[in-house]
Structures are given as C-alpha cells and as structure tokens.
Amino acid sequence: MFIWQGAVNSFWEFNIGHLIDAGLFVIAAGGYVISRKSDIRQAIERRDEEMKKQIEMHTENRERLDTLTNFHESQLELNEKRDEQISLLRENASSLKHIVEGQDRRLQLLENSRGRTH
C-alpha cells in the first residue's frame, strides 16, 4: 500500500467530527455573508443620510445665495438712485450758487448806485 492511498481512503471516510467541522464552516461562511450584507446595507443607509443632509445644506445655501443676490441687486439699484440724486443736488447747488452770486452783484450795484445818489 502506498502512502497516498491511506490519505485517499481517509479523505473519503466521514465521521461526526468532519460533519460538525463542515457544518460550522458553512454556518461561519453564512454568518460572514449576512454580516457583510448588513454592513453594506448600513453603509448605504449612512451614505443616503449624508446625501440627504448635503442636499438640504445645498438647498439652504442656494436659498441664502439667492437672498443675498437679490439684496445685492436692490442695493445696486438704491446706490444708483442715490448717485443720481447726488448729481442732481450738485447741479442744483451750482445753480443756486450762480443765482446767489448774481443776486449779490445786483445788491452791490444797488448799494453803489444809492451811495452815489445820496
């Protein structure tokens, strides 16, 4: 009898120990697969929750940016109107200055002419 024949014969001989080992291996492999599925499911749920949070945050940020953009545009319009009013006030002040200078000259001429007549 060859050495390998003994190994082959023992390979085909099953006893309760071999069946228990095989059963435990199948149970362990099944547990690993179930555990991996559970881990994957939890990871997917965490990812989905994070995505929802990021979407909510993005939506809130977008709304804030829209609000700021609207405020900025209204401020630009307000500044433009203010600049127009300042320009008009400068023109009016310049016109008033010329009017006052003209009035002052007339008063001086009147005073000079009254001073000569007296």
The per-residue DSSP string of the chain comes to: --HHHHHHHHHH---HHHHHHHHHHHHHHHHHHHHHHHHHHHHHHHHHHHHHHHHHHHHHHHHHHHHHHHHHHHHHHHHHHHHHHHHHHHHHHHHHHHHHHHHHHHHHHHHHHHHHH-
Residues 1-45 pLDDT 10s = 444 444 445 555 667 777 788 889 999 999 899 999 999 999 999
pLDDT on residue 113: 82
pLDDT on residue 52: 97
Q: Is the pLDDT assigned to residue 108 strictly greater than 50? A: yes
Domain ranges of the chain: 49-118
pLDDT on residue 20: 84
pLDDT on residue 11: 56
Residues 72-91 pLDDT 10s = 999 999 999 999 999 999 99
Q: Of 69 and 109, which is predicted with more confidence?
A: 69
pLDDT on residue 5: 45
Q: Of 18 and 92, which is predicted with more confidence?
A: 92
Query: Using 50, 70 and 90 to split pLDDT, how confident is the model at 69?
Result: very high
